[in-house]
Amino acid sequence: MGMTSWACHTCRAPLESKPAGQHICHGTTTSDKLSINNSMKTRLILPIVAIALIGSTSLCSAAPSIKDVMKAAMKGDDSLFKKVSTGKGTDADTAKLYNCLKNMAGQKAPKGDQAAYDSKTDTLIKAAEAVSKGGKDFQALSQAGNCKACHTDHKGK
């Protein structure tokens, strides 16, 4: 059997069959360089993992503002609300919608009568909850989520 040839990974100087850690190169030992490389890998991997975790958490997992809920769940023709209220949403979509909408309970109405706002949001939340528990009353959810009915009386600036 032949001898293993070792070389410094930085300067490629032959290590004359010495294991890693016994060659000094550029002021650090080879094992120090390995730990530096591992540290650099960690610095690269941690932000990627953090972004993945942040991306996987729903916007509506913490108590968002009414504006945040509207943006995340209600706005647009391809919104979460539109998918669920037309029966095209997945179980995950219905759960996410319900979690978003229930954050509106107890918030101060931006404008208008607080009791009317509470009644409308309560009706919307209950309809979303029913659908998230397997109910098929998409019509009730769609009516409860009538944008104009709520915005006319309660939308702030």
- In tens, the pLDDT along 144-155 reads 999 998 999 999
Residue 21 to residue 31: CA distance in whole angstroms:
5
pLDDT in tens, 30-88: 444 444 445 555 566 656 655 655 544 444 555 788 899 999 899 988 999 999 999 99
Burial of 75 (0-12, 13-18, 19+ CB in 10 A): middle
Q: Which positions ≥6 away from 83 have C-beta within 8 Å?
A: 89, 93
Residue with tokens 């997992």: 61
Q: What is the reported pLDDT for 4? A: 54
- Three-state secondary structure call for residue 31: helix
Q: What is the reported pLDDT for 56? A: 40
**153, 116 contact by CB (below 8 A):** yes
**Given a cut of 90, is residue 112 above it in pLDDT?**
yes
Mark 33-53 as b/e (b = at least 16 C-beta within 10 Å).
beeeeeeeeeeeeeeeeeeee
Give the residue with greater pLDDT, 10 vs 74. Answer: 74
Residue spans per domain, the chain: 24-56, 59-154
Q: What is the reported pLDDT for 35? A: 43
Give the residue with greater pLDDT, 95 vs 1. Answer: 95
- Three-state secondary structure call for residue 21: coil
pLDDT in tens, 12-30: 666 555 555 555 555 545 4
Give the residue with greater pLDDT, 74 vs 156. Answer: 74
Q: In this structure, what token pair is assigned to residue 56?
A: 């996987």
